[in-house]
Amino acid sequence: MDIGFIGLGNMGAHMARRLVEAGHRVVVYDTRQEAIGNLTARGATAARSPAEVADAAETVMASLPTPDIVLAVATGPRGVIEGKRVRRFVDLSTTGSVMAQRIFKLLAARNIVQIDSPVSGGVKGAEKGTLAVMASGPRTDVAAVEPALKAIGKVFFISERPGAGQTMKLANNVLSATAMAATAEAMVMGVKAGLDPRIMLEVINAGTGRNTATEDKFTRAVLPGTFDLGFTAGLMMKDVKLCLAEAKTLGVPMDVIEAVARLFQLTCDELGLDQDITAVVQPIEARAGVKVRSP
């Protein structure tokens, strides 16, 4: 299958690589020449713009950081919408359902079908091809791209309704953010009381408190103090805000998620948007006067 791929960041580079390794003919574009070079060295073909990618392939995928960037790449000048060959735009980014519906309508006017297909599983999942892929859009079009999507993970058909995949992704990500925030507070409390953080995690993971933060994130990035999971606090803050906005539109109260948003906002304000998601523990540590570390 001829596939265009736009956005070769921490996630996108691995997904594009897996498509190449699966035998697909992949045309890539990124604003960074180094990222393009890494993929062409593996067999991909370089393009000079999103429109050029869309000239070369009927199916164009994108993995981009923010909704506004996705909108510009999909529908802006020299964007996918101007491509001569493209018939499907598969958005692997997290944009929220409102933006997904907006892009769907704009592309539909040019007879291009958008499939919003956000992914979950982090950089590790992208590298191994074990992502959860949440696809929504016309069933026949989703079926047409499913063989390619299977190269990056397990495909879940969410709905034919545009934006449904985005709603599913936001529900997933706020649970991930909540697990990280709650675990940070619990771990700092334990360490402040004199508990060994490694023993704490062993007990929690053998009991009912286990979650993605206790099973993976803390052991891998917090205890050693590396804070290098590969997903930024700023991007998670973006996802949490998108979820809160959608919940407000739907009339769903989210008091717990609002508290999670405050902690991530504090992390972004004090440490910076580019800090790793696991750095959310640091403002709590600073106020408690302890660090959750165990080399």
- Select from 138, 127, 175, 117 the least CA-distant residue to 18: 127
Active site residue 169: yes
User: Checking DSSP bridges between strand 88-91 and strand 113-116, what pairing results, if any?
Assistant: parallel
**How far, in Å, CA of 233 to CA of 229, rounded?**
11
Residue closest to 51 by CA, chosen among 27, 78, 11: 78
From CA 281, how far away is CA 80, in angstroms rounded?
40
Measured between alpha carbons, how far is 171 from 264 in angstroms, rounded to an integer? 17
* Structural tokens at position 131: 């992502």
Q: Report phi then psi at 31, rounded to 5.
A: -75, -15
Q: Which helix (H) or strand (E) holds 110?
A: none
Burial of 255 (0-12, 13-18, 19+ CB in 10 A): exposed
Place of tokens 């606090």: 233
Exactly one of 128, 169, 238, 248 is catalytic; name it: 169
Give the amino acid at 96: G
- Residue recorded with tokens 């060295």: 41
Sequence-ordered alpha helix ranges (H) in 22-121? 33-40, 50-56, 67-75, 97-108
The pair of three-digit structure tokens given for residue 198, joined into one six-digit string: 């490694």
Would you name the residues annotated as active-site residues? 169
